[in-house]
Amino acid sequence: MPTRKPLLPHVARRTAAWCGVLLLVAGVAAVAVWLVVALKTAVTPVLLALLGTALLGPVHRWLTAHKVNRSVAAGLTCAALVAVGGGAGYIVVTALVDTGDQIVASLKDAAQWVIDHFDIEGVADVDDLAENAQDLVGRFGASAAGGLLTGISVIGSLVTTAVLALLLTFFFLRDSDRAGHLAHTIAPRGTGDLVEAMGRRAFEAVEGFMRGTTFIALIDALCITVGLLILRVPGAVGLGALVFVGAYIPYLGAFISGAVAVLVALADRGLVIALWTLGVVLAVQVLEGHVLQPVIQSRTVQMHPAMVMIALTAGASVAGLLGMLLAVPLCAAAFGVIGELRKDYEAGGTARVVPGGS
């Protein structure tokens, strides 16, 4: 009996199958994003706690390796996080507050320099922009009370999120040894090892990203601060603090903080010092891109800059600044999971081929 000829050629059937898979994945991803946005009040502390756990994991493991009780080690690690994070936050905020007026004034002078030298039509003076902004604010003066209440609500929400994230970090650190058992418990039969491997690979990617980014941010901030102090650029410490904070948003943060430093130098020290400042910023970025990142983050998931920018854009559209901060670590985790799946698939394919060839 002759075999029935398929209606579609093999290539068309494979393409249709892959399109179906992509549509299914896109649908699941869309539902997941919708759930995250709808439950952001609960999801945000969990994600921040995971980032904190990834950053503090080596400290907790070192303490437990020296026979410290897991709960005590987790408590000490969280206390160290509060002390170091609070101290660093105080230094950054103090530096920005102390030099904020000077930086803003320098940016205003730089904008005026640009207007004067490039003959921008429609803007006679930077003060005109400031007056227009004040008029715009005055028009909405009736909503000041509502804005004050909204600000108080936002501060309360931030404090609650920070406290909840700290508590979750404590529990994640203390019970991290049970993660493998949990993966085997919730995974379908026969897939426990794969689920555990994917979870470990994703967490290793996030852990490497957080440690590497923090170390690189510290080196960048120190180098740029020293360079700005040598060039006598005003607000050097505040600009260095801005560099440190901006380093957690890859590419975009470095661009913004570097641009601010150059504009401040242009306004207060002139074009020559501004060019030297630009040289310092570019030299630090070259050092980061060609030395620090390959050495420090060589064991983590490497992503193409275009993929990083797409992730930042998607994160900003979903959750604003917080989304930009979380986008790259989540992408690193996703790439880690994909790499583990590919490794498992290749190992399975090898296992299937070897018996047939013997």
| 249 or 19: which leads in pLDDT | 19
**Angle in degrees, CA 304, 24, 37, rounded to 5:** 70
Tokens of 46: 């969990």
Across residues 9-36, what is the average pLDDT? 86
* Angle value at C-alpha 222, between 216 and 223, nearest 5 degrees: 90
What is the pTM for the complete model shown?
A: 0.66
Lowest mean pLDDT among 71-75, 112-116, 159-163, 266-270: 112-116
- Residue pair 263/106 in contact (Cβ under 8 Å)? The answer is yes
pLDDT of residue 276: 92
Q: What share of the chain in percent tops pLDDT 70?
A: 76
CB neighbours (10 Å) of residue 36? 18
Higher pLDDT, 25 or 181: 25
- Segment 91-110, tens digit of pLDDT: 666 766 666 666 667 667 76
- Taking each continuous run of H as one helix and of E as one strand, the counts in the chain are 11, 0
Tell me, yes or no, whether 47 lies in a domain.
yes
For the ranges 84-88, 177-181, 227-231, 299-303, which has the lowest average pLDDT?
A: 299-303
pLDDT band at 76 (very low <50, low <70, confident <90, very high): very high
Q: What is the pLDDT of residue 310?
A: 83
Domain count, the chain: 1
* pLDDT of amino acid 92: 65
Residue with more model confidence, 203 or 358: 203
Is the pLDDT at 217 greater than 80? The verdict is yes
174 contact partners, CB below 8 Å, separation of at least 6: 70, 71, 73, 74
Residue 290 identity (one-letter amino acid): H
Q: Residue 318: which residues within 8 A CB-CB, separation 6 or more?
A: 33, 36, 37
Quote the mean pLDDT of the chain. 76
Is residue 174 domain-resident? yes
Q: Which residue has the higher pLDDT, 233 or 318?
A: 233
How far apart (Å, rounded) are the C-alpha atoms in residues 54 and 168?
Answer: 12
Is 284 contained in some domain? yes
Q: Look at residue 200 in the predicted model and tell me its pLDDT.
A: 83
Q: Does residue 24 form part of some domain?
A: no
- Residue 39 has which token pair? 């439950």
Is a pLDDT exceeding 70 seen at residue 147?
Answer: no
Q: Does residue 354 sit within a domain?
A: no
For 39, the 3-state DSSP assignment is: coil
Interval 336-348: pLDDT, tens: 788 888 887 777 6
Picking from 129, 125, 101, the residue whose alpha carbon sits closest to that of residue 113 is 125
Would you state the structure tokens that stand for residue 55, as one six-digit string? 């950053």
Its domain, for residue 95, covers: 39-125+149-347
Kindly state whether residue 107 falls inside one of the protein's structural domains.
yes
| Three-state secondary structure call for residue 330 | helix
Comparison of pLDDT for 125 and 27, the residue scoring more = 27
Query: How far apart, in Å, do the first and last CA atoms of the chain sit?
Result: 34
Distance, in Å, from the CA atom of 352 to the CA atom of 108, rounded to the nearest integer, reads 68
Q: What is the pLDDT of residue 148?
A: 43
Most confident listed range (129-133, 290-294, 324-328): 324-328
> Is residue 10 in a domain?
no
The arithmetic mean of pLDDT across residues 31-46, rounded, is 83
Highest mean pLDDT among 77-91, 106-120, 223-237, 283-297 belongs to 223-237
- Say if 341 falls within a structural domain: yes
The pLDDT of residue 297: 61
Residues sharing a CB contact under 8 Å with residue 287, sequence separation 6 or more, in sequence order: 219, 223
Calculate mean pLDDT across residues 73-90.
83
| 242: pLDDT strictly greater than 70 | yes
pLDDT for the residue numbered 327 = 81
Query: Worst-scoring range by mean pLDDT, 62-71, 142-151, 264-273, 338-347?
Result: 142-151
